[in-house]
Amino acid sequence: MTPTESRPGLAARIARSAPGRLVIFFACMVLMGLVARRVYAGLGLPTGPIPFDDVTPLIQAFRLAPAVLAYWLLVRSVESRRVHELAPRKAVPHLLLGMAGGLAAMSLVVGALWAMGVYVVTGVNHDAHWLGPILVLGVGAGVGEEIVSRGVIFRIVEEGLGTWAALLVSAAVFGGGHLWNPNATVWSAACIALEAGLLFGLLFHVTRSLWVCMGAHAAWNVAEGPLYGTPVSGFDQRGLLVSHLQGPEWLTGGAFGVEASVVTLALGSVITAACLWVAVSRHSLVPPFWRRRSNATRTDRG
């Protein structure tokens, strides 16, 4: 520290700490949500549960605005840095990369279930509705859930407690958040945590790009529901393909959908292991803060 620099005050240090930033983000998101709801109601937009098919871009924009604005304020005002993980120049290539990966992963799952006679196609829905489901399952889940789970929880926990803790915490929160979905069980929540929570956490770790995670998450959901016609995290879908699942629940995932299938769990685990191999080979796994301090002390003494 140079003579012209001064140590930040106590309030600034608390705000910039990991717990402080988590509290600030969620408090801002709640407050902005209250404001958004007031404006939403003032515009006379529909309230209460809205069927996926009836969701419009304006409705989805109001739903996402609190999380997006709260994240921007957190990064720019509290962390005082550019939002590198959402750099505009990376948006198109990283989104396309993530979307290709998400589509490929879900297609492999459905293809495997089809080969086993579990996934059965009986026709095509020529009048399938696309816009609403894509806005909710693709844009909504991809943007909102990735900002909260990876941009905030994973990233901030990793800075303090390290990569392993960040993976466990963010995956547990992500899986637990799906317990309130229709037809959810403890098993389905655990599957979501293991096959998607760990995967998207490591995907963010190796790419440091929320665009990639958003694209992968969105394409995974859109392929699962609007394209292949299977339930998405417990929500029934009428997709392009008229299909149904048959067989034991450990293969079909039951009413929750294929995300609770052991096939999806196995495939997600393989992709997660591949991302972990990349992280280990790069030596990028972040140790907890106490190990970093110990290493720094040994280096200074050396």
Both 74 and 117 in a single domain? no
Q: Which domain holds residue 30?
A: 1-81
Which one of 81, 115, 148 terminates a domain?
A: 81
Q: Tell me how far apart the alpha carbons of residues 220 and 140 are, in angstroms, rounded to a whole number.
A: 13
* pLDDT for the residue numbered 29: 98
Both 159 and 108 in a single domain? yes
Both 154 and 62 in a single domain? no
Counting as low any pLDDT under 50, the low residues of the chain are 1, 3-4
Both 69 and 89 in a single domain? no
Both 77 and 145 in a single domain? no
Both 73 and 145 in a single domain? no
Contact 270, 235 (CB under 8 A): no
C-alpha radius of gyration, the chain, whole number: 21
Both 133 and 190 in a single domain? yes
Which one of 64, 81, 98 terminates a domain?
A: 81
For residue range 200-226, list pLDDT tens digits in order. Answer: 999 999 999 999 999 999 999 999 999
* pLDDT for the residue numbered 291: 80
Both 142 and 182 in a single domain? yes
Single pTM value for the model: 0.92
Residue 148: closest CA among 226, 91, 110, 204: 204
Question: What is the number of structural domains in the chain?
Answer: 2
Q: Tell me how far apart the alpha carbons of residues 68 and 221 are, in angstroms, rounded to a whole number.
A: 20
Which one of 46, 81, 116 terminates a domain?
A: 81
Both 50 and 177 in a single domain? no
* pLDDT for the residue numbered 302: 54
Residue 11 is encoded by which pair of tokens?
């309030």
C-alpha dihedral sign at 182, 184, 188, 190: positive
Both 49 and 100 in a single domain? no
* pLDDT for the residue numbered 295: 63
